[in-house]
Amino acid sequence: MIIDSDLIKVGVATIDKYLHEGIVEVHFTKKDGTKRVMNCTKVQHLIPVEKRPKPTPTIDDQGNALPLVEKAARPWQLITVFDVDKQEWRSFNYTTIIAIKAHTQTTS
């Protein structure tokens, strides 16, 4: 099977856009082969404050520049989202998506 990585990148970007606009229902296949439905988002106000990503400081209390900490390399087709039902961060692989449904947009 030939997979066009450019098309996958467009799909990942499109889903990311929907996730920043509201809640998206994603149907996908888990690594163990089971099917899963997840309602997820990346909209900050829909994520509890204590679960939101922490900004990475670049300056310490004395005004000294801090070294940047590199994140572990992750496959670009792996999408990290906040599961609004489980109230936890989860991820899924774009290539395992069966269907998506964008719910009412809630960016305001």
CB 28 within 8 A of CB 97: yes
Burial level of 50, CB count in 10 A (0-12/13-18/19+)? exposed
Q: Which two tokens stand for residue 6?
A: 């450019």
Helix or strand run (H / E) with residue 86: none
Domain locations in the chain? 24-50+76-108
The pLDDT profile of the chain, 108 residues, written as one tens digit per residue, is 556 778 888 889 999 999 999 999 999 999 999 999 999 999 999 999 999 987 666 666 777 766 655 556 678 789 999 999 999 999 999 999 999 998 865 555
The pTM of the full predicted model, rounded to 2 decimals, is: 0.77
